[in-house]
Amino acid sequence: MRKLAEVLSTEEFEMIFDHLNAAVAVVEKDGSFFAWNSAFEPFKKIMRNAFPKNLTEMHWQEIFLLDEDTPTLCDCFLLPASNARFILIAEPVTSDDSASAYQIQKLHKQVKLFKVESEFSKKLAHNKHIELESVITQAKEVSETDALTFILNRRAIINELQSEVLRAERYNTMLSISIIDVDHFKSINDSFGHPIGDVVLQQVAHRLRDGIRHPDVAGRYGGEEFLIILPNSDIHAASEQAARLGKIMREKPALVKEHVIQVTLSIGIAQLKIGKDTWETLLNRADNAMYEAKNKGRDCFVVAE
């Protein structure tokens, strides 16, 4: 071998290396490539992560994907050279054993299929997560919505009241509520029938919902009664709202099929007394004020003491 090296010139070595089937490169101690032959070009981007990081293993086998569909099995050699460098040789393994080549190809296809399935599973899981969140949101909305009027139901409006009472106590802010009862609703049911009465309740609920201002909240308290919560509002703001809602109902009767039905409201108002009221006593005070409005002749509002 020494004699062979002695008789060959640098140009002849260059020509020989460029015609070799093996990929040859000079590797620095840090793993960077110093020089290489033309057969090494396809390996440049993928080889650095293939050979051992400590550059001590002298021989191993590696499967490289040099193009999209064909894996290449290589014998890899790492040989010490001068100036603390190494000679890296990657020689493709050619074998008549078609079964081995078939297994390599099959393995590669399985890997590709797994990657595709993995990406599909990720997308499917993501879509399912979105669907689940949507279902949960819809279920929450259904559980909080009154089936007849499509505003907050009793449980949801009470939960809202409890939260607002806690918030008002924590930040020492004002809070008022109004309990609203539809006057003579039993007579409406008796005169026109329950289906007509249901439509009247729907129209009242929608007018209350549309007649209040953000962040006020309206809900069906039960039967023909409604509850409005007015955060950051005193008794005067609640009274102005009650007067406005009563006027809206007086001036625009409920229209159901061919029936024109006059609807009036009795409203009881109460403002939270921080340190004295609970959400329950606040409700009781507003409820008592509502009954006082009925006793005064209906179609009016009363403010609780």
Short-list 235, 244, 227, 226, CA closest to 175: 235
Distance CA 72, CA 149 (A): 70
Distance CA 238, CA 298 (A): 18
The DSSP bridge partners found for residue 182 are 265
150 torsion bin: left (phi>0), alpha (psi -120 to 50), beta (else): left
Q: Residue 274 corresponds to which tokens in the numbers above?
A: 């921080």
For helices 194-211 and 185-192, angle between their N-to-C axes, nearest 10 degrees: 140
Residue 262: how many other CB atoms lie within 10 Å: 13
Distance CA 13, CA 250 (A): 106
Cα distances (angstroms) measured from residue 65 to each of 50, 92, 123, 203: 12, 12, 26, 71
The DSSP bridge partners found for residue 259 are 256
From the candidates 224, 225, 251, 305, which is the catalytic residue? Answer: 224
Instruction: Look up 280 and say whether it is catalytic.
Output: no
What pairing do the DSSP bridges indicate for beta strands 259-261 and 175-182?
A: unpaired
**Catalytic residue IDs:** 224
